[in-house]
Amino acid sequence: MQWFEQFLAAFLETGRNVMPIVIVIIFFQLLVIRKPLPHPGRTLLGFMNILIGITFFLDGLNIALFPLGELMAKQLSTPEFLNLSDNSETTDWQHYMWVYLFGACIGAATTLAEPSLLAVAIKAEEISSKSINAWGLRIAVALGVAIAIALGTFRIVTGTQLYYYVIAAYAIIAIQTVFAPKLMIGLALDVGGVTTSTVTVPIVTALGLSLATTLQGRDPLLDGFGLISLAMLLPCISVLAYAQLAEWLSKKRNLNHT
Amino acid sequence: MPSIKRFFKLIVNSCFDLLPILVVVLVFQLLVIQQPIPNVADLIAGCLFVVLGLTFFMLGLEQSLFPIGESMANAFARKGSVFWLLLFAFCLGFGSAVAEPSLIAVAQKAADIAGAAHFIENNLEAKSYYALTLRLTVAAAVGMAIVIGVLRIVIGWPLHYFIIGGYSIVTILAPFAPAEIVGIAFDSGGVATTTITVPLVTALGIGLANSIKGRNPITEGFGLIAFASLLPTICVMTFGIVT
């Protein structure tokens, strides 16, 4: 019964969040395009499916994965777990290897379950007539997010400026866009915004905040941020690198044949 | 019944999508932290919900969001009115960001920080005004981002000039913005890209590139989300400098 009430509340909230978009679509469809939707029944059914899907999805995450993820992030950054006897040692970054590893693994895993990335990967595979593989793309993105979270937790532990990391990532992406195959640039720049969505953001934010709370001399308000921005930038780099690698390999193969 | 078969195939796929998270959580909890799982019943129920949710979402995606985005893009291209297209693009971006829960949370947090650092008066009224202004700023930024992105597809400008230009602006702005706001500004780029907006906007871009002659949907159809995650950063930094 309690679950049902929770479910209903979550459903209504999801409905309220998408309301503005529904209004925009209906307004433009009826008043500007002035044609009925091609398949009204099917579209309505699909929209209900999406609402039900998102509600179930969020509810499931709230029941199972978010509490567990938060708990684990806390447990991994306690002094007892890290074997620290003396508080003065807490800023030594080498003590936190398990945190980096956990960050990398959970970042990659949540990326693979991200519905919006799934949607974009399917679309990319469809319009490229399968020359872009959906799973290949998702794994490349997951790898990028994994490196991003490991780097981001390292940044929180060492307390270095976020700005430098972001600028370095910008510089790498700018150089890559000059050399990478033109076909992939749009997609690669898009995936960064796509992966930071429903699943990844809450878990990664929880990790950053609990780490910044546990560490001495870190302010959760200031240092807890930044994981998301790295998780947005590094997948661009990894997808561009994947595209470059694929192009380079196929060139090499062609050279060998002739 | 092909649709039931499709449904089961989607359920199997969703299980595979969820599997990595489960493996990571279980391995770390049992082998590294060496603690029992606190609430096994909740974990199983939650995972069932996530799988069901993903399945329904994928089903609805194929039935509604992708077709709506593409059919509207086609209709606007046939109508040939750039004004209405751009207005639609703005409303779509603004509408998707303004009610987004994670944006509301980020705006609130930014107001708390600004209050604690005495940029604004540290009371409830000043803070909620600050949060609301910030939220509208970001939503307008996302709307503008989709407008610029759509205009780029229509005219056919190369994407990376815009992105490099945007990066340069952020690089220049960041040292002038208050340190407290920089972290939030960088993170705010992710907020506009929700589970509903992404498929809709992607379908819109690809549909437009498909219906305009001489545009390749792969090269030109993507890129709208890239703008939507860059422009909010610029706007929040500017907002931080101005206030």
Q: What is the pLDDT of residue A256?
A: 80
Q: What is the pLDDT of residue A72?
A: 82
Looking at residue A88, what DSSP letter applies? G
3-state secondary structure of A129: coil
Over the stretch B170-200, which tens digit does the pLDDT of each residue have? 999 988 888 778 888 888 887 767 788 889 8
Residue-range definition of the domain harbouring residue A55: 1-64
Q: What is the pLDDT of residue B89?
A: 93
Mutate to test the interface with A, among B7, B218, B219, B233 (most CBs of A within 10 A): B218
In a domain, A28, yes or no: yes
Q: At residue B148, does pLDDT exceed 90?
A: yes
Q: Does residue A89 sit in the same domain as residue A131?
A: yes
Q: Does residue A169 sit in the same domain as residue A83?
A: yes
Most confident of A193-197, B148-152, B176-180: B148-152
Mean pLDDT of B60-78: 88
Local confidence band at A90 (pLDDT 50, 70, 90 cut-offs): low
Last residue of a domain, one of A64, A90, A106: A64
Q: Does residue B117 sit in the same domain as residue B58?
A: no
Over the stretch A131-146, which tens digit does the pLDDT of each residue have? 888 999 999 999 999 9
Q: Does residue B59 sit in the same domain as residue B87?
A: no
Q: Does residue B97 sit in the same domain as residue B52?
A: no
In a domain, A71, yes or no: no
Q: Does residue A242 sit in the same domain as residue A140?
A: yes
What's the rounded Cα separation, in Å, for the pair B33 and B124?
41
B chain contacts of residue A127, beta-carbon cutoff 8 Å: 206, 217-218, 221
Q: Does residue A58 sit in the same domain as residue A101?
A: no
Looking at residue A198, what DSSP letter applies? T
Q: Does residue B57 sit in the same domain as residue B140?
A: no
| Tally of CB atoms within 10 A around A219 | 14
B chain contacts of residue A150, beta-carbon cutoff 8 Å: none
Q: Does residue B49 sit in the same domain as residue B89?
A: no
Q: What is the pLDDT of residue A7?
A: 79
Task: Indicate the number of domains in chain B.
Answer: 2
Mean pLDDT of B8-33: 87
Share of chain A above pLDDT 90, in %: 25
Over the stretch A100-111, which tens digit does the pLDDT of each residue have? 998 999 999 999
Whole-model pTM: value is: 0.88
Largest separation between any pair of C-alpha atoms in chain A = 71
- CB–CB contact A196 B193 (8 Å): yes
Which residues, at least 6 apart from A172, have a Cβ–Cβ distance to it below 8 Å? A237
Q: At residue A86, does pLDDT exceed 60?
A: no
Q: Does residue B184 sit in the same domain as residue B131?
A: yes
Last residue of a domain, one of A64, A92, A118: A64
Q: Does residue A212 sit in the same domain as residue A109?
A: yes
Q: Detail the DSSP E strand segments found in chain B.
A: none
What's the rounded Cα separation, in Å, for the pair B88 and B237?
26
**Which stretch of A73-82, A126-135, B15-24, B92-101 has the lowest confidence by average pLDDT?**
A73-82
Most confident of A77-86, A143-152, A191-200: A143-152
Task: Indicate the number of domains in chain A.
Answer: 2
In a domain, A69, yes or no: no
Going by C-alpha positions, the residue among A154, A162, A160, A235 that lies closest to residue A200 is A235
Most confident of A31-40, A212-221, B20-29: B20-29
Last residue of a domain, one of B20, B35, B63: B63
Residue-range definition of the domain harbouring residue B90: 81-242
- CB–CB contact A221 B116 (8 Å): yes
- CB–CB contact A21 B96 (8 Å): yes
Q: What is the pLDDT of residue A170?
A: 93
Q: Does residue A110 sit in the same domain as residue A138?
A: yes
In a domain, B75, yes or no: no
Q: Does residue A18 sit in the same domain as residue A49?
A: yes
Closest residue, chain B, to A31 (C-alpha): B84
In a domain, B76, yes or no: no
In a domain, B18, yes or no: yes
Q: What is the pLDDT of residue A83?
A: 62
What's the rounded Cα separation, in Å, for the pair B117 and B104?
20
Q: Does residue B126 sit in the same domain as residue B222?
A: yes
Q: Detail the DSSP E strand segments found in B105-238.
A: none
